[in-house]
Amino acid sequence: MTQRSAPVSQSDRRWRQREIVIVATLGIVFGVLYLAWVQLWLLAQAAIGPLALDVLFGFWCVGAVVAAYIIRKPFAALATEVIAALAEILAGNPAGLILLLTGIVQGAGAELPFALTGWRNYRLPVLLASGASAAVFSFVYTWIRFSYGTLSPGLLIAMFVLRLASGALLAGWLGQRVAEALYPTGVLQGLGIDAAKRQAG
């Protein structure tokens, strides 16, 4: 099964109303799920300490990969993460407005590998790279925000490796699995994923 799309024309890159609604819906749904994931993180943090954030990180970016894999148009990943952040804020996440910046950073990281392919390649390696890239962007952001430079090198290496793996698996791999599970329901007909599957034959 190929996940590489045909060359994308400028007209193909124009967003349709249905695609906008789907991305908004995905953002809201995953925003609520992200907020619930915070509760799991707090429990894990009590059990294993600060590494819990890095182990669980990838799920906070899975919506970006799901949207990009389904829509297959520029900035689907970024838009979904930003909308999810807004949904979290409105749902009462105590972090508040700073989540909007977090969503932008993670969404930009998730978007980058798709942009580097010209938004044409949605094979699993690119999806894994999307999740990993979001992890790298997030790590740099949290390094600045939480002064990671004061931590020991060993802990920093462990945090980075775990976050990278979590991004690739819980965002990249899981994102593909979620989208593929949705496809047989018929709700994704007429979208980028449907066109790619039909083209692959």
pLDDT of residue 151: 95
Cβ-contact 196, 73 below 8 angstroms:
no
Is 114 a member of any domain?
yes
Kindly report the CATH number assigned to the domain that includes residue 147: 1.10.1760
Structural domain boundaries, residue 150: 17-194
How many Å apart are CA 149 and CA 146, to the nearest integer? 9
Share of the chain above pLDDT 70, in %: 95
Torsion sign (Cα): 61, 65, 70, 74 = positive
Least confident interval from 4-18, 117-131, 136-150, 166-180: 4-18
Is 63 a member of any domain?
yes
pLDDT exceeds 70 at position 174: yes
Place 20 in a pLDDT band, splitting at 50, 70 and 90: very high
Place 11 in a pLDDT band, splitting at 50, 70 and 90: low
pLDDT of residue 106: 98
Query: In the predicted model, what is the mean pLDDT of residues 35-63?
Result: 97
Q: Which two three-digit tokens encode residue 201?
A: 């034959």
Is 123 a member of any domain?
yes
Amino acid at 49: G
Is 200 a member of any domain?
no
Place 2 in a pLDDT band, splitting at 50, 70 and 90: very low
Is 1 a member of any domain?
no
Q: Return the axis-axis angle of helices 62-71 and 17-48, rounded to nearest 10°.
A: 160
Query: In the predicted model, what is the mean pLDDT of residues 167-190?
Result: 97
Cβ-contact 84, 102 below 8 angstroms:
no
Is 4 a member of any domain?
no
Digit-coded pLDDT (tens) for 94-122:
999 999 999 999 999 999 999 999 999 99
Give me the number of domains the chain comprises. 1
Q: Which pairs from 90-99 meet CB under 8 Å and 24+ separation?
A: 91/31, 91/32, 91/35, 92/35, 93/35, 93/38
Digit-coded pLDDT (tens) for 115-156:
999 999 999 999 999 999 999 999 999 999 999 999 999 999
Is 5 a member of any domain?
no
Is 6 a member of any domain?
no
What is the four-CA torsion angle of 141, 108, 164, 183, rounded to 10 degrees?
A: 150
Q: What is the mean pLDDT of the chain?
A: 94
Higher pLDDT, residue 9 or 180: 180
How many Å apart are CA 154 and CA 114, to the nearest integer? 32
